[in-house]
Amino acid sequence: MGNGVEMMELARVRKGRDEILAMRCAVHACETSMAEMREALAPGMTEREVWSILHAGNIRRAGEWIETQILASGPRTNPWMQEASARVIEAGDLLAYDTDLVGAYGMMVDVSRTWLVGDGQPSATQAATHALALEQIERNVDLLRPGTSFRELTFDAWSPPHAAYRRYCCQFHGVGQCDEFPEIYWPEQWDEWGYDGELEPGMVLTAESYVGPRAGGEGVKLENQVLVTDSGPELLTEFPLALR
């Protein structure tokens, strides 16, 4: 059974033309729902109220289901991986979420954004944390090119210093009908969890970033979905990464 599972994982690594078209439709539907969520977001809403807008938009646009309810605001953004709660969101909070969404045609859209709530300006700490997460995403997306090995992704990807900032559980992972092969962990995990391979055209991966100051304060979660092409990485998810 183990070999069968492995063969199925490998068979799904490279997406065909129709799969990529289906994923583009799912991305468009997801990002339209994200825009509705951003438009509705206001102080006084609960985290669950905000999250429900993404759910409703996904179903309305022929989506299927969402794996998690990972959305947090204010102090609940650090550490990461908390699900939506009844917390009332306040002006000046950061609100961060991960879609984990299986959308139109059964294709997954797995992206993360962090937004500033209300009409104010981000604090210096919020802006600095977001800038680090943005740098991580932008630098690491550029690595998603044909011929790059999984080992190179593991050791060449950039992240803020781990001694000062909490991080996400992985740096990249495949995506298709769900989270898929490969999963790219951290350099110190290579001996235990690492495996080598090579990026090929037609593969779709997400680049992950979570930056949470260990000294305290809110965290920022960002993630983009990328198609590996002959000419380099093509960003599939173009919804802005800005706080505002």
* 45-55: pLDDT as tens digits: 999 999 999 99
Three-class secondary structure of residue 96 per DSSP = strand
Q: Which CATH superfamily is domain 2-235 in?
A: Creatinase/methionine aminopeptidase superfamily (3.90.230.10)
Average pLDDT over every residue of 220-225: 98
Q: How far apart are CA 60 and CA 176, in angstroms?
A: 21
Task: Provide the pLDDT confidence category of residue 12 given band limits of 50, 70 and 90.
Answer: confident
Domain boundaries, the chain: 2-235
Q: How far apart are CA 222 and CA 208, in angstroms?
A: 6
Record the pTM.
0.95
pLDDT for the residue numbered 2: 52
pLDDT for the residue numbered 220: 99
Q: How far apart are CA 157 and CA 235, in angstroms?
A: 17
Percent with pLDDT over 70 in the chain: 97
Classify residue 225 as exposed, middle or buried by CB count within 10 Å of its CB (0-12, 13-18, 19+): buried
